[in-house]
Amino acid sequence: MSIRLVIESVVFVYPDGTRALDGVDLEIGPGELVAIVGQNGSGKSTLVRHLNGLLRPTEGRVLIDGRDAAHFHVAQLAAQVGLAFQNPDRQIFAGRVRAEVAFGPRNLRLRGATLERAVDEALDAVGLTGAADANSYDLGYSRRKLLAIASVLAMRTPVVVLDEPTTGQDARGVARVRSIVERLSAEGRTVITISHDMRFVAETSRRVVVMRAGRIVLDGTPAEVFAQPNWPALASTYLEPTLPARVGARLELGSTPTEASLVAALAARAARAAQEG
Ligand SMILES: Nc1ncnc2c1ncn2[C@@H]1O[C@H](COP(=O)(O)OP(=O)(O)OP(=O)(O)O)[C@@H](O)[C@H]1O
Ligand SMILES: [Mg+2]
């Protein structure tokens, strides 16, 4: 059920001449859990829109399990890659919440009890079961974002892409998104999230891809990417390492220290200071 995604020397130029992707090479293996980060306008959304055929490369290729995505119809790609849009209002169109979530899986030819179950599970995952009969547009922004995510979950695609799922969410919403990501990943699906929340990224991803001006500038585990030597590169795309990464570096614990190791190191420091003082 898992598939390999390969983005090969992709350049994308919007009709107005904006060169949003300037030669991107990226390979994402089956079941990877990846975060894409970078300043506003660095090309993150443009990149992921290539994965489900919403955009086609100006130059280069996108390979889905070794086959050029150019040979797939959008409907075929939609069965492989589910993308929850950054702006939910570009995705939501149906009247009722339930109908909205059912739209995708119905297009994938799910019917009857299977369809109902897919919709129920997706609504439950995002906490919108109680709003199933509400009108989509009566939901507040953060719940419309969750609705957009549910619409993608219901399609049960091998690859799930969430474009800024935590935007507008309070702590409870962020925790919900995090548990959705963890569950999808535990099921062996490929999960790609875009986020400006470095704590969310450090805590939920196993790989971080950093973009700047339409290119990938860093790619590695959170520990590698948030390590001190990369701080200038991160700063160049307006990213700040997480507080644990900064404190961890000072305490020589690396860039992804556990809370327990931080507490222990600070206690040891305090004890040393007391002895010396
Ligand atoms: N429809 C469009 N037409 C023209 N230019 C566009 C369009 N959409 C995006 N761009 C431009 O392409 C570049 C990349 O935009 P993109 O939305 O992919 O960045 P992003 O990294 O997702 O940013 P953000 O963090 O703000 O969501 C930017 O310069 C942006 O202004
Ligand atoms: Mg974006």
| 3-class SS string, 76-98 | HHHHHEEEECCCHHHCCCCCEHH
Cα(109) to ligand 2 centroid in Å equals: 30
Q: DSSP letter string over 254-266?
A: -SS--HHHHHHHH
Determine the pLDDT at residue 1: 60
Tens digits of residue pLDDT in 182-227: 999 999 999 999 999 998 999 999 999 999 999 999 999 999 999 9
Q: pTM for this one?
A: 0.93
**Distance (Å, whole) CA 223 – CA 201:** 11
Per-residue pLDDT of the chain (277 residues; tens, 9 = 90+): 679 999 999 999 999 999 999 999 999 999 999 999 999 999 999 999 999 999 999 999 999 999 999 999 988 999 999 999 999 989 888 789 999 999 999 999 999 999 999 999 999 999 999 999 999 999 999 999 999 999 999 999 999 999 999 999 999 999 999 999 999 999 999 999 999 999 899 999 999 999 999 999 999 999 999 999 999 999 988 888 888 888 888 888 888 888 888 899 899 989 998 888 7
Q: Which residues contact 92 (CB under 8 A, 6 or more apart)?
A: 100, 136, 137, 144, 147, 148, 151
Cα(98) to ligand 2 centroid in Å equals: 27
Q: What is the DSSP letter of 140?
A: -
DSSP helix/strand/coil, 207: strand
Phi and psi dihedrals of 177, rounded to 5? -60, -40
Substitution candidate for ligand 1 out of 11, 46, 54 with most atoms within 8 A of CB? 46
Q: Does the beta carbon of 80 sit less than 6 angstroms from any atom of ligand 1?
A: no
What are the tokens at 233? Answer: 């590169």
Tens digits of residue pLDDT in 1-19: 679 999 999 999 999 999 9
CA 203-198-221 angle, 5° bins: 55
On whether the CB atoms of residues 57 and 49 are closer than 8 A, the answer is no
Q: Does the beta carbon of 14 sit less than 6 angstroms from any atom of ligand 1?
A: yes
Which numbered ligand comes closest to the C-alpha of 238? 1
Query: Given CA atoms 119, 34, 8, 88 in this order, what sign does their dihedral have?
Result: positive
Query: Given CA atoms 254, 39, 85, 124 in this order, what sign does their dihedral have?
Result: positive
Residue-range domains of the chain with CATH? 5-240 (3.40.50.300), 242-277 (no CATH)
**Distance (Å, whole) CA 22 – CA 169:** 32
Which numbered ligand comes closest to the C-alpha of 17? 1
